[in-house]
Amino acid sequence: MTASLADPPSTRSVAASPEAGVATLASVASFPATPEEGECACADDHARPSVAEVIRARAARVIAIKPVRAALSFLAIALVPYLHPRLASLRLLTFGGPGAQPAAIADGPTGIVPEYGELTLAEARNDEPPILDDHDGHGDDAPMVVAAAASAQAKQPVVLSDLAKAVGANHRVVEDPSGGAMRAFHASLELTERGAPKAITRVAHYGDSLLVSDFMSSTLRRRFQQRFGDAGHGFVLMAKPWAWYFHQDVSHWSSDGWKVHRIVNPRIGDELYGYGGATFRALEGGVKAGFGTAKPVPGDPKSEKEAFGRRVSRFEVHYLEQPDGGSFDLLLDGKKVQTVSTRAKPGEPKRLAIARVPAEDGEHALEVRAHGGSEARFFGVTLERDVPGVVWDALGVNGGRARILDVNDAGHWAESLRARAPALVILQYGTNESEDTGYPEAQYEATLETVLRRVRSAVPESSCLVVGAMDRAGYGVGGLETRPIIPKLVAMQRKVAFKVGCAFWDAYLAMGGSGSMGRWSRATPKLGGGDLTHPTSTGATLLGDLLYAALLEGYAERR
């Protein structure tokens, strides 16, 4: 019988697994039932009390003593984290040997049971980024990793900052045993570097909550644009589908009234979610959203000095053509420039459509305003420039897993990918998979392979890169230790990536390998969050710098 992927045998119960003998992504356990209290044997108020009643009465008198009551209250609070695996990091003790993680009940993959419906969104603005724990102000203007030069003739060693060294971070190369997985990306970067007309290198970076807030991806966007040129911010979802959704270096706002459907629920019957995994419906007139170049923060010298996201020369609105589709207006800098109908031609199926709004290169704002009367359905808007440079699309989904990408209709997602023509597609997952209880190991590999092959089929001319799972920590006998599931997930991700011809970058080893999240969470400034899972803003910057150094070194050694 194959052992569980997550925990040592001493912490598992085979009887609780969904299928005996099948390796799963998390441990399972059976818990003893709580003994029932004895029933009162009294026939009436004057009957002789039972032994159970006497015991309960005496226990009540003991509990009434304040020190005892305080001790029991503390014990009750201390036991709360043992009620659910997601509270494991709060447990005072864990059992089962060094590194053992609390067992989880095998109830099938979590977070991906289909739920169909809609969410009505409130008004939102892209004004302030969410806070990821203790961000000490270490900005993107201070790289934490000095990457190798992009020219093979002038290659320099990769240099890590003292903080990166202190937590054991490592420079890890992009692994590509095929020798050709990154060729398209390198060729595109070379044209961009030469300054060929409109030589834009686009990157589609798919991932989970880390990218929802654009922290790691914004570092990569800025680094590449500093080195190769700024061709625009890239893709932004139509409205704010999650509270944490935020993009750096761009203006974005949306009115109330938008209805959203997402690949992570609530879903929509036709399963058409566009490029970014979410679709937005406007049913009434006046539902609108705005997109524009970044604006300096008043009184912030650093913000006023930065030039990221300050120019755009082309907006593209991704929407759905469908039977009985409604119309919308496009306003550039407050002036209406187009009215677009989303109604499909008779007999034509639903399909992705794109409305383009050119502008003189500079600061601009675009407003998308629905007419109402009939449904108008959207996916997002891109901001680009007609100059050589890099565009980095951050495509994060809260609670995202690689296999959830398979929810998106295959033909529709392929069409959406081709419309963006990325030189590189990155898939970065693993955090949420490490929480999936009872998910068979073989099935994880199979579904990851399916998603990667869909990417390869949709854009065969693009490079493909899998970024492995980051470290996660839990409390073991030795203190904060790596969850055993993480290196196993990383090994599977590497195996599948190579099988389908993709490259692989090991984020786990780049962070420092075993115990790294524990070190990151104790660093000053903190690099790891209090949940022992997500990096802080500073930690996300370091991750971005580490991947940037790896990608740039691969480019320097391409010949």
pLDDT at residue 400, rounded to an integer: 94
- Mean pLDDT is lowest, of 10-24, 140-154, 235-249, 371-385, for 10-24
Q: Residue 221 burial by CB count (10 A; 0-12/13-18/19+): exposed, middle or buried? A: buried
pLDDT band at 193 (very low <50, low <70, confident <90, very high): very high
Please tell me the distance from the alpha carbon of residue 239 to that of residue 477, in angstroms, as a whole number: 45
Percentage, residues of the chain above pLDDT 70: 73
Answer positive or negative: Cα dihedral of 396, 397, 398, 402: negative
Q: Which of 81-85, 131-135, 246-250 has the highest mean pLDDT?
A: 246-250
Chain position carrying tokens 């704002």: 365
pLDDT at 271 over 50: yes
Q: How confident is the model at residue 296 (pLDDT cuts 50, 70, 90)?
A: confident
Instruction: Please write the tens of the pLDDT for every residue from 123-135.
Output: 999 876 666 554 4
| Beta bridge partner(s), residue 312 | 362
Task: Lowest mean pLDDT of 9-13, 233-237, 374-378, name the range.
Answer: 9-13
Looking at residue 56, its pLDDT comes to 54
* Average pLDDT along the chain: 83
The pTM of the full predicted model, rounded to 2 decimals, is 0.81
* Segment of 97-101, 124-128, 371-375 carrying the highest mean pLDDT: 371-375
pLDDT above 80 for 185: yes
Structural domains of the chain in order of their starting residue, each with its CATH number: 114-129+232-386 (2.60.120.1360)
The answer to whether residues 326 and 282 touch, using CB atoms and an 8 Å cutoff, is: yes
Residue 81 has pLDDT above 70, yes or no: no
Work out the pLDDT band at 300, boundaries 50, 70, 90: low
Count Cβ atoms below 10 Å from residue 500 Cβ, excluding itself. Answer: 18
Say if CB 452 and CB 427 are below 8 A apart.
Answer: yes
For residues 420 and 395, what is the distance between their CA atoms, to the nearest angstrom?
A: 12
Taking the C-alpha atoms of residue 174 and residue 172, their distance in angstroms, rounded to an integer, is 7
Give the confidence band of 477 by pLDDT, cuts at 50, 70, 90. Answer: confident
Residue-level pLDDT at 528: 97
Q: What is the pLDDT of residue 184?
A: 99
Q: pLDDT class for 67, splitting at 50, 70, 90?
A: low
